[in-house]
Amino acid sequence: MLIGKPTDIKGSEITPRDVYLRRREFLLGAAAVGLLPAYAGIAAAAPLQAVKSPFSTDEKLTTREDVTSYNNYYEFGTDKAAPAANAHTLTTKPWSVKVDGMAGKPADYALDDILKGVTLEERIYRMRCVEGWSMVIPWVGFPLADLLKRIEPQGSAKYVAFETLKRPAEMPGQRGILQPLPWPYVEGLRLDEAMHPLTILAVGLYGETLPNQNGAPLRLVVPWKYGFKSIKSIVRITLTDKQPPTSWSLQNSSEYGFLSNVNPEVDHPRWSQAMERRIGEGGLFAKKRPTLMFNGYGDQVASLYSGQDLKADF
Ligand code: MTE
């Protein structure tokens, strides 16, 4: 695998900090004079230094505007515009992640401690939502494997379970009688998937800290799986020997399986997964593009599933 060690990285590959700082000054200045909506997620965006990654695609980026305004984050409402409108209510500082289960070093880890000594990378990934749309997003993050190695999975651990914050006082989508999903939102990966170098924990996008609607302050990104596996605002990581429950399969197990690999040959029971609409490409009437097996990451990840029937294990 081509993974740049910090010592291999040329100075020219590091995004200049002053560029981000100037952008931050502009954002903060614009917020002060009322040019921007008062979303805390935007106003609080802080620049991040990141090195480029050989795992990035060179496809055209989805605009920052689309990436941050067309979201799924059901804790803030089911409408695509609801997260950007509502997620400013979420307090993301201080933030800690509880690590428990079959880990040699279980603890409540402050986010700042998780990030100490981590090299942040810009990872430009294609993302494919199960609903049939896709984006190309410049994430800023680090391999989940780096954190897992630090928390020392025990030999018997086979899966990693993740949990999002449950805080109805700050998450309007968790209030009310009719709920679209059971809370907290939960997800899981097999340990080999979690350790794969493509799997990252993201803390930013477009060179700045994550806006709340995109899962601040810490979210998972697994580019060869449907978007719902990429759980947002993580507060707990559990190592376990049993396949963990996942929100969408708890809600409808015939429609959503555990693996949820992007697979154009396995239709969703209610629609085909063969094609996708790239957000920003000419609206609803734009020509769709074919969806690729494992979202185009097959060379790197297909071997994880050798011998498995991916029509049965969807
Ligand atoms: N994580 C939580 N906690 N709650 C959610 O509703 N939605 C998922 C995933 N992670 C979701 C979540 C779905 S369906 C998708 S497609 C992606 O987040 C969307 O991520 P984005 O809005 O940052 O593009």
State both tokens at 196: 């794969």
Scanning the structure block, which residue is given the tokens 């629609």?
Answer: 271
**pLDDT of residue 12 exceeding 80:** no
Q: How many CB atoms lie within 10 A of CB 17?
A: 12
> 223: CA distance to ligand 1 center in Å?
13
- Please identify, by atom number, the ligand 1 atom nearest to the C-alpha of residue 135: 24
256 in contact with ligand 1, CB cutoff 6 A: no
227 in contact with ligand 1, CB cutoff 6 A: yes
- Please identify, by atom number, the ligand 1 atom nearest to the C-alpha of residue 185: 3
Name the DSSP class of 74. G
- Please identify, by atom number, the ligand 1 atom nearest to the C-alpha of residue 215: 23
185 in contact with ligand 1, CB cutoff 6 A: yes
- Evaluate whether residue 182 is within a structural domain: yes
For residue 165, give its domain range: 16-305
- Evaluate whether residue 7 is within a structural domain: no
State the Cα–Cα distance between residues 144 and 126, nearest whole angstrom.
18
> How are beta strands 208-209 and 234-240 bridged, if at all?
unpaired
Question: For 71-100, what is each residue's pLDDT tens digit?
Answer: 999 999 999 999 999 999 999 999 999 999
- Evaluate whether residue 238 is within a structural domain: yes
Q: How many CB atoms lie within 10 A of CB 34?
A: 8
**pLDDT of residue 1 exceeding 60:** no
302 CB burial (10 A radius; 0-12, 13-18, 19+): middle
> 51: CA distance to ligand 1 center in Å?
25
216 in contact with ligand 1, CB cutoff 6 A: no
- Evaluate whether residue 151 is within a structural domain: yes
What percent of the chain lies above the pLDDT cut of 90?
A: 82
> 155: CA distance to ligand 1 center in Å?
31
Q: How many CB atoms lie within 10 A of CB 5?
A: 7
Q: What is the CATH number of the domain that holds 206?
A: 3.90.420.10
* Domain count within the chain: 1
Mean pLDDT of 209-217: 98
- Evaluate whether residue 20 is within a structural domain: yes
On average, the pLDDT of the chain sits at 89
- Evaluate whether residue 293 is within a structural domain: yes
Question: For 105-142, what is each residue's pLDDT tens digit?
Answer: 999 999 999 999 899 999 999 999 999 999 999 999 99
- Evaluate whether residue 310 is within a structural domain: no
Predicted confidence band at 282 (pLDDT cuts at 50, 70, 90)?
A: confident
- Given this model, what pLDDT does residue 20 score? 39
DSSP 30-60: HHHTT-S---HHHHT--B---EE-TT---SP
- Given this model, what pLDDT does residue 117 score? 87
- Evaluate whether residue 45 is within a structural domain: yes
DSSP 144-170: HHHHHHHH-B-TT--EEEEEE---TTT
> How are beta strands 234-240 and 159-164 bridged, if at all?
antiparallel
Question: For 25-49, what is each residue's pLDDT tens digit?
Answer: 444 333 333 333 333 344 468 999 9
Q: Which of 64, 71, 72, 221 to mutate to test the pocket of ligand 1 (most atoms within 8 A of CB)?
A: 72
- Please identify, by atom number, the ligand 1 atom nearest to the C-alpha of residue 131: 16
Residue nearest to atom 23 of ligand 1 (CA): 214
Judged by DSSP in three states, 235 sits in: strand
State both tokens at 146: 């780096």
248 in contact with ligand 1, CB cutoff 6 A: no
Name the DSSP class of 295. G
